[in-house]
Amino acid sequence: MNILVVLEDNNGAIHRMSLEAIVAAQKISSKLKSEITVLAMGRNAEALALEASKYELNEILKINSSSLYSYSSDGYATAIEQIILEQDFKYVFFGHTYQVRDYVPKISAKLMRPFLADNIKMSISSGSIEFTKQTFNAKLLADIQTSDSGLYLVSFQSASFSSDNLKPGYSKIKKIDITIDETQIKNTYDEPFQESAGGVDLTSADIIVSVGRGIGEADNISIAKDLALALGGQLSSSRPVVDAGWLSPDHQVGSSGQSVSPKLYLALGISGAIQHVVGMKGSKNIVAINKDPEAPIFEIANYGIVGDIFEIVPKLIESLK
């Protein structure tokens, strides 16, 4: 039951969600003695492979191919297909990133093997592994059987596993050469860009104060800003606040914004819709203040306050001074 984990490049470092996928593979390995291979490719393959060598793995494959220096869904799908066809893997694991959503379905079509996407849990037994995903806008869970003997492509939702649980080790890097037929790359890609200049990097913040629809109007954002300042943290928001134009898009946390895991995530007037929660549920401590005692945010918060943010936040700022 050998497992391949595909590493995604996040500006020269392994994407956090790829590290979480390694944790999932290590969990299976410790029970079933599976071998884990990880795959580094792209412009920063060298750096990713070196970073991976610090973890307990069986092998690190590093692809050198200039055709993969910049991302293309066809190039990536073709490269991974070649690696899969050469070796005998039962599972190929990915973090459920935007890039993975773009190219992994193509591998599924090429190999005619299923892609089980966006899982949050797995249960390991000797015969097969059962994966669990959220369905119907996270209102229900579904266990999915993977019963036949062939290969499965599997991705995991952000923060389904914690990268704190990575097992350290020393792993060897093997260089491999593959040939990509560049005429098969159908798309041309421009450089990624952000809508607003400056850019708030929330991913490295220790303390985040985040506002939701409950903040009411643009003028009220200032109290959240003051609280972030008093705590020495960053200000962020859920999507409705950005859609309303009260904060720029680079403040957004959630599936179409940034994924964060600070020591403290203080949610002000955030209801806790699934699209927001996937971006912040990996926070070490979540404190939620909301008027509505039924708000779903209280299902994932560690500390909850049912109350009016306009009453509590000014007093909190005062007492922190």
Partner 1 sequence: MMKIAVLIKQVPGSESPLSIADSNVWLDEEKVAYIMNESDNYALEEALLLKEGTQDCEVVVVSLGPERVKKIIREGLAKGADRGMHLNINSNDVTDPLSIAKIFADALKSENFDLILSGLQSDDLGHGQTGIIIGELLKMSTGSLAVSTKLDGDQIAIKQEMEAGFFQNVRMSLPASITIQSGLNTPRYPSLKGIMGAKKKEIKTLDIDSSDQKLKISKLYLPSSSNEITMIDGSPDQIVENLVKVFKSEIKI
120-179 binders of partner 1 (CB under 8 A): 130, 133-148, 150
Backbone angles phi and psi of 66, in degrees to 5: -65, -20
> What token pair was written down for 75?
């190039």
110 contacts partner 1 (rule: CB under 8 A): yes
Q: Which of residues 259-278 bind partner 1 (CB under 8 A)?
A: 259, 263-264
Q: Which is nearer to partner 1, 36 or 92 (CB)?
A: 92
Host H or E run for residue 132 = strand 129-135
**Which of residues 53, 58, 162, 203 is near partner 1 by CB under 8 A?**
203
176 has which bridge partners?
63
Q: Is 181 in contact with 75 (CB distance < 8 Å)?
A: no
Whole-angstrom distance, CA of residue 218 vs CA of residue 313: 16
Whole-number minimum distance, CB 134 to partner 1, in Å? 7
256 contacts partner 1 (rule: CB under 8 A): yes
User: Do the strands 115-124 and 129-135 form a parallel or antiparallel pair, or are they unpaired?
Assistant: antiparallel
Whole-number minimum distance, CB 235 to partner 1, in Å? 14
Amino acid at 155: S
Stretch of 18-26, 42-50, 52-60, 96-104 contacting partner 1, by CB under 8 A: 96-104
Q: Which is nearer to partner 1, 69 or 303 (CB)?
A: 303
299 contacts partner 1 (rule: CB under 8 A): yes
Whole-number minimum distance, CB 25 to partner 1, in Å? 20
Amino acid at 46: E
**Which of residues 170, 177, 193, 197 is near partner 1 by CB under 8 A?**
193
- Quick note: the x/- pattern for partner 1 over 221-240, rule CB under 8 A, is ----------x---------
Closest CA to 206 of 237, 238, 228: 228
Which long-range contacts does 298-305 make (Cβ < 8 Å, 24+ apart)?
298/272, 299/272, 300/272, 301/267
- Quick note: the x/- pattern for partner 1 over 41-80, rule CB under 8 A, is --------------------------------x---x---
Q: Which is nearer to partner 1, 175 or 284 (CB)?
A: 284
Q: Is 90 in contact with 1 (CB distance < 8 Å)?
A: yes
Closest CA to 299 of 270, 258, 321: 270
Kindly determine how many residues on this chain lie close enough to bind partner 1 according to the rule CB under 8 A.
83
